């Protein structure tokens, strides 16, 4: 298949960093959004129609660029409005046909994230944060669903997304909600 | 068929929407820039503006604000369609003047329904009132004409002549009803109801405020509204089309069903108000009934379908005494303890009975304590309620927190 014959799709994404909300469009191929952010051959990816807001006023647009480069290492969470934009289900589930939805609580230095992850057989933090599973593979991001993200510094404006990717190298805590409360 | 202005910088989305709107029978005009969109909206006459929030020159919030501030475009309904899906985006867009909000990717059927709904409501508002003859409708800025009550054709005088109308069978609509009840005049129930409607609307809820007062209701005074018609002008048979023609939209997106401007001898019957509420609940997510300080038929009808009755009280002896009686009566009307919410309002700077003493006298806790706000008198005089002020006051902050839990 030549480069030009690969089907491409534009999807809208909100990325959260420690300080900013970056609303943009990215172009993905048949591996979906998770394929883009977990492509280990690139540390950056390009985005277009990029609108920058600050987390203290997330609805106020402070800058706009037609194109921008986003370094994967510094993006904490990516929020999608549709699950199907993440990528093919078989790819996300690492080949497993049956998965178990599990409520979890992540923390990073600046966010608290409640979400559902899909685990194979049992809750395995290693699979979510280090190894394969949940669409992670060897990539930097892990997949979660139905997430509520609270900024520690601006908790009055939580973010909600039906699908999200979390930079697992920036996660400081992960626990199953069934084993505690948050 | 409607003339629709679409302001979106995404070329593909513009083309898709153009096809969709044309198939629906509308005439779309497309532009990709905010400044250009404002110029076109002012230069031509559009029935609806569909607006993206992320535009290359001006953001959509600013476009909405400018459209709302220009006399020629201030009444055009604005529908936001954006990829920004967070609650904060929606709230700021509604504050900027939007009337509807959809997120991309948008479902075509949902979009078609939303457009039809917004156009219907807007046409109902701009159409001459049913009691006016063509060419004699009130001109913007002039005094409203007094409502004409035709004997035998309105719900006040025709109850016995017209066949009784009942609520259509089937499950009740989804809209929630709240009754603001102060069984002693002057406790600030109307001020409370107006600001509650405002904070709910600011939060993106579609709100209708019904002024049930039979003796010159003050909701229109609070909002400086000139309603084309009031509930006293309602025809004997009510359907959703009739209801849409009788509500008046305030700039804050709160819709108002106004009370007659002069005292009337009889209020609506409970049955008529039940039907009216049924249709309002189909249109709006929240219906707030500012009841008269008496348990008349329409108030009892509203209580029978309400989610909460919000009993407004003052920290003074006579009100507390009246409220003790009210709290004894409400359960006999079928209201449970959890449906009753006590709102302690402080309309003057004078220190009244301490809240703890009020709670002890009433034997229950106050659910919301509203602080005295010295800006309230100015707000009433200017027709700019506190919820419309740029900086939030303690009263509005408390009210917003309360509304979020309702």
Report yes or no: A85 at the B interface, CB cutoff 8 Å: no
The reported pLDDT for the residue numbered B373 is 78
Per-chain mean pLDDT for chain B? 80
A141 or B283: which carries more pLDDT confidence?
A141
- For residue A2, count CB atoms less than 10 angstroms from its CB and return exposed for 0-12, middle for 13-18, buried for 19 or more: exposed
Q: Is residue B141 part of a domain?
A: no
Cα–Cα distance, B235 to B147 (Å, whole number):
13
Residue B237 has a pLDDT of: 73
Contact B80, B100 (CB under 8 A): yes
* pLDDT score, position A181: 62
Question: Is residue B274 located within the same domain as residue B353?
Answer: yes
Q: Is residue B158, in this structure, part of any structural domain at all? A: no
Q: What is the pLDDT of residue A180?
A: 62
Distance of residue B106 Cα from the nearest chain A Cα, in angstroms: 11
Per-residue confidence at B123, pLDDT binned at 50, 70, 90?
Answer: low
Cα of B56 to nearest chain A Cα, Å: 7
Do residue B262 and residue B347 come from a single domain? yes
Contacts of A103 (CB under 8 A, 6+ apart): A114, A115, A116, A176, A177, A178
**pLDDT given for residue A125 in this prediction:** 87
Question: HEC profile for B355-369?
Answer: HHHHHHHHCCCCCEE
Whole domain around residue B273: which residue ranges?
Answer: 167-405
User: pLDDT digits over B240-271, tens only?
Assistant: 667 777 788 888 888 888 888 777 766 778 88
Q: Answer for the pair B293, B189: CB distance below 8 angstroms, yes or no.
A: yes
Q: Are residues B185 and B119 in the same domain?
A: no
Verify whether the Cβ–Cβ distance B54 to A161 is below 8 Å: no
Same domain, B120 and B267: no
- pLDDT of residue A5 exceeding 90, the answer is no
Asked if B174 and B274 sit in the same domain, the reply is yes
Check pLDDT > 90 for residue B178: yes
Among chain A residues, the shortest Cα distance to B95 is held by A59
One domain, residues B217 and B276 = yes
Domain shared by B351 and B221, yes or no: yes
Question: Does B290 contact A at CB distance below 8 Å?
Answer: no
By C-alpha distance, which of B112, B142, B137, B115 is closest to B126? B137
Question: Of all residues in chain A, what percent carry a pLDDT higher than 90?
Answer: 65
The CA radius of gyration of chain A, in Å to the nearest whole number, is 16
Q: Contact A15/A77 with Cβ under 8 angstroms?
A: yes
On whether residue B156 sits in a domain, the answer given is no
Is residue B199 within a helix (H) or strand (E), and if so which, with residue range?
helix B189-202
Question: What integer pLDDT is reported at residue B131 of this predicted model?
Answer: 44
Q: Output the pTM of the full model.
A: 0.56
Residue B161 belongs to a domain: no
Q: Determine, yes or no, domain membership for B397.
A: yes
Interface probe, candidates A12, A67, A84, A160, chain B, greatest B C-beta count within 10 A: A12
pLDDT digits (tens, 9 = 90+) for B147-173: 333 333 444 444 444 445 677 666 677
Does any CB of chain B come closer than 8 Å to the CB of residue A49?
yes
Does B132 fall in a domain?
no
- Whether residue B64 is found in the same domain as residue B184: no
B126, B157, B181 — which closes off a domain? B126
Tell whether B107 and B179 lie within a shared domain: no
Give the pLDDT confidence of A84-139 residue by residue, as tens digits.
999 887 777 766 667 888 999 999 999 999 999 988 878 888 888 887 654 556 78
| Chain B residues touching residue A155 (CB < 8 angstroms) | none
Å between B400 CA and nearest CA of chain A: 13
pLDDT at site B142:
32
Q: Is there a domain that residue B162 lies in?
A: no
Indicate if B218 and B357 belong to the same structural domain: yes
> Which residues have CB under 8 Å from B16's CB, separation 6+?
none
Long-range pairs of B221-225 with CB within 8 A, sequence gap ≥ 24? B221/B380, B221/B383, B222/B190, B222/B191, B222/B194, B222/B379, B222/B380, B222/B383, B222/B385, B223/B194, B223/B250, B223/B252, B223/B254, B223/B256, B223/B383, B223/B385, B224/B382, B224/B383, B224/B384, B225/B250, B225/B256, B225/B258
> How far is the C-alpha of B209 from the C-alpha of A40, rounded, in Å?
56
Tally of domains in chain B: 2
Q: Is the pLDDT of residue B323 over 70?
A: yes
pLDDT at residue B139, as a whole number: 29
Q: What is the pLDDT of residue B88?
A: 87
pLDDT at A182: 60
Q: Is B140 domain-assigned?
A: no
B249: CATH: 3.40.50.300
State how far residue A58 is from chain B, nearest Cα, in angstroms. 7
Q: Lowest mean pLDDT: which of A130-139, B349-358, B385-394? A: A130-139
Question: How confident is the model over A31-59, as a mean pLDDT?
Answer: 93
pLDDT in tens, B26-41: 999 999 999 999 999 9
Lowest mean pLDDT segment, chosen from A4-8, A141-145, B207-211, B228-232? A4-8
Segment B368-393 mean pLDDT: 77
> What would the pLDDT profile of B59-71 be if each residue is shown by its tens digit?
999 999 999 888 8
Count of CB atoms within 10 A of residue A57's CB? 14
**pLDDT number for residue B130:** 47
Regarding whether B74 and B11 lie in a shared domain, the answer is yes
| Domain shared by B90 and B207, yes or no | no
pLDDT at A41 over 70: yes
d(CA B87, CA B205): 12
Query: What average pLDDT score do residues B277-306 get?
Result: 86
Secondary structure class of A176 (helix, strand, coil): strand
CATH of the domain at B15: 3.40.50.2300
B92–A161 CB contact, under 8 Å: no
């Amino acid at each position: 298949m030549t480069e030009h014959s690969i089907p491409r799709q534009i999807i809208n994404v909100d990325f959260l960093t420690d300080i900013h909300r970056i609303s943009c469009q990215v172009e993905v191929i048949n591996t979906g959004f998770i394929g883009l952010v977990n492509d280990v051959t690139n540390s950056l990816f390009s985005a277009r129609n990029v609108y920058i807001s600050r987390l203290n006023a997330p609805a106020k647009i402070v800058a706009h660029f037609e194109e921008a480069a986003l370094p994967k290492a510094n993006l904490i969470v990516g929020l999608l409005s549709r699950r199907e934009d993440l990528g093919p289900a078989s790819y996300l589930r690492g080949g497993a046909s049956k998965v178990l939805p599990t409520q979890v609580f992540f923390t990073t230095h600046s966010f608290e994230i409640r979400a559902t992850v899909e685990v194979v057989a049992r809750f395995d933090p290693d699979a979510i944060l280090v190894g394969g599973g949940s669409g992670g593979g060897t990539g930097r991001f892990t997949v979660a669903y139905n997430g509520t993200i609270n900024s520690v510094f601006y908790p009055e404006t939580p973010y909600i997304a039906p699908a999200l990717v979390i930079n697992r190298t920036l996660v400081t805590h992960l626990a199953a909600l069934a084993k505690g409360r948050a | 068929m409607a003339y629709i202005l679409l302001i979106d910088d995404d070329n593909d989305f513009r083309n898709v929407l153009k096809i969709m709107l044309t198939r629906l029978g509308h005439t779309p005009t497309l532009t990709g820039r905010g400044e250009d969109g404002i110029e076109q909206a002012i230069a031509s006459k559009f029935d609806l503006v569909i607006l993206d929030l992320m535009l290359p020159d001006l953001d959509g919030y600013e476009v909405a604000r400018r459209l709302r501030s220009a006399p020629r475009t201030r009444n055009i309904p604005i529908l936001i369609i954006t990829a920004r899906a967070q609650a904060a985006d929606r709230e700021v867009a509604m504050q900027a003047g939007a009337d509807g909000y959809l997120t991309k990717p948008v479902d075509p059927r949902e979009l078609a329904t939303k457009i039809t709904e917004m156009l219907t409501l807007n046409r109902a508002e701009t159409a001459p009132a049913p009691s006016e003859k063509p060419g004699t409708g009130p001109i913007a800025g002039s005094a409203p004409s007094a409502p004409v009550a035709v004997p035998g054709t309105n719900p006040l005088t025709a109850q016995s002549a017209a066949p009784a109308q009942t609520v259509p069978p089937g499950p009740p609509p989804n809209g929630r009803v709240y009754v603001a009840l102060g069984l002693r005049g002057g406790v600030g129930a109307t001020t409370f109801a107006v600001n509650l409607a405002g904070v709910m609307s600011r939060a993106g809820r579609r709100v209708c405020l019904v002024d049930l007062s039979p003796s010159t209701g003050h909701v229109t005074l609070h909002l400086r509204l000139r309603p084309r018609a009031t509930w006293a002008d309602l025809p004997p048979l009510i359907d959703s089309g009739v209801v849409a023609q009788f509500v008046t939209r305030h700039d804050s997106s709160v819709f108002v069903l106004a009370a007659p401007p002069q005292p009337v001898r009889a209020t609506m019957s409970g049955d008529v108000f039940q039907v009216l509420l049924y249709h309002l609940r189909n249109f709006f997510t929240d219906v707030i009934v500012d009841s008269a300080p008496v348990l008349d038929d329409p108030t009892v009808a509203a209580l029978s379908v309400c989610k909460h009755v919000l009993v407004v009280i003052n920290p003074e002896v006579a009100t507390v005494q009246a409220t003790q009686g009210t709290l004894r009566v409400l359960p006999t009307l079928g209201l449970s303890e959890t449906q009753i919410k006590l709102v302690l309002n402080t309309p003057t700077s004078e220190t009244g009975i301490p809240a703890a003493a009020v709670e002890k006298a009433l034997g229950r806790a106050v659910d919301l304590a509203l602080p005295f706000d010295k800006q309230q008198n100015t707000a009433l005089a200017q027709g700019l309620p506190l919820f419309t002020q740029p900086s939030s006051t303690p009263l509005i902050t408390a009210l917003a927190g309360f509304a979020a839990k309702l």
